[in-house]
Structure 1
Amino acid sequence: MKKDLRFLCYPFMREAASTVDFEIRTDSLTTRIGQAASLVADMEVVYADLQYLQPMAYHLNGSVRGKLAITEADLNRLSDMYDFYCEKVHDKIQSFVLPQGTEAACALHVCRSEAKKSVRALHKVSLEQEVPQILFDYSHLLANVFFVMAVYVNDQTGVEEIPFVSKSYPERKRRKNA
């Protein structure tokens, strides 16, 4: 008798390897990118970038279990995207800020958080198997791109960033990352 696939949401779910957790994290990231894109449809540059990044998150997903699908050209394009947004919001990213603002900016902050979770899951995979450095570079940079995108969206809509001053750590200048 053929197995009824409606009772299987993901074929690797029962594996013990951390690869599964990474794939689930990046699937969540891809979903959140789609959500964020739906909220910035009127902002052509951001929308186009998210339309590009959504399938890239799935390429990142498959690059651990399957064939490496992230290239130097992909990393360079993401780096250029980061530079573009940083140039636009340079003055607003010099200190730590609260993840707030418009609904679109908040969705981008969620993407940033999901990307960070993906980095952490990728680290867990690397404890079990070899992971190409480009996947770490891409994942870290992706989280930082979502941060500057969120700040850019707030800037474009007139929402001020709210600086966060920690009671736990001494204040320091932000290093252009999330």
Structure 2
Amino acid sequence: MNQLYRSPYEAYPFLCDTKDNLQCDFELLTDELASHTGLLRAKVMRYAKENPNINLEICEELTWVCEIIYHINPTLRTHLTVTKAECEQLKEKMERLQEKAKDRCKKFVLPMGSELACEAHLLRVEAKKLVRLIYHYIEYGNEVPDLLLDIANLLSGYFFALSLVLNLYENVEEVPFISRNYT
């Protein structure tokens, strides 16, 4: 194998990790998830000026969620610093959103609606990718705290519930999806 060139301008020192070392992939995915959370927060701030239903409390919550995502970022390389109490807070935030949107979704809905809800749906999918990557990491014989999987799964649930609430706040109806495969 040829010697790998290492640029003196490396964007991140672990980008050249081997493909079976998923630590960098995890860090990049959490960075992307946090960045998109920041983007959603910026859009919520802009929309809050035009729509009184959208309050800045969501912005504060998204800042907190973004920080949690960044705290899990180095976990595979170091250790998990997010606590069980913070995981419980995330669960409570998700459940609060689910309660607000309880009449909006009985089974499946199409990932559409307002711009803000669509951004939240994209974050939901990114969190699912994170869960999948963690399982791949475990398949390679690595151990992770169960709490990390709980947090990643809760992030997906949180962003789904947020998408429903954002559509609610913007008076956008959910579009039910009836699967031909699952009944």
Does 2:125 align with 1:108? no
- Matching residue of 1:52: 64
SS at match of 2:104: helix
- Matching residue of 2:166: 153
Max radius of gyration: which structure?
Answer: 2
Deviates more, 1:19-28 or 1:154-163: 19-28
- Matching residue of 1:137: 150
- Matching residue of 1:18: 22
Write the distance in 1 (CA, Å) between the matches of 2:161 and 2:106.
11
The structure whose residues are more often helix, as a share, is: 1
Point out where structure 1 has 5 or more consecutive residues left out of the alignment. 171-178
Write the distance in 2 (CA, Å) between the matches of 1:75 and 1:48.
17
- Matching residue of 1:32: 36
Correspondent of 1:9 among 11, 19, 25:
11
- Matching residue of 2:3: none
Write the distance in 2 (CA, Å) between the matches of 1:31 and 1:8.
20
Contact kept in structure 2, 1:89 and 1:148, CA below 8 Å: yes
Write the distance in 1 (CA, Å) between the matches of 2:111 and 2:63.
22
Q: Cα offset for 1:4? A: 6.6
Contact kept in structure 2, 1:92 and 1:161, CA below 8 Å: yes
Write the distance in 2 (CA, Å) between the matches of 1:99 and 1:4.
40
Write the distance in 1 (CA, Å) between the matches of 2:105 and 2:36.
23
Does 2:85 align with 1:73? yes
- Deviating above 2 A after TM superposition, structure 1's stretches of 4 or more consecutive aligned residues are none
RMSD over aligned Cα, in angstroms?
1.3
Contact kept in structure 2, 1:63 and 1:70, CA below 8 Å: no
Does 2:135 align with 1:123? yes
SS at match of 1:15: coil
Point out where structure 2 has 5 or more consecutive residues left out of the alignment. 1-5, 49-54
- Matching residue of 2:109: 97
Q: Cα offset for 1:23? A: 1.2
- Letter in structure 1 aligned against 2:124: R
Q: Work out the percentage of aligned pairs sharing the same amino acid.
A: 34
- Matching residue of 1:84: 96
Contact kept in structure 2, 1:99 and 1:109, CA below 8 Å: yes
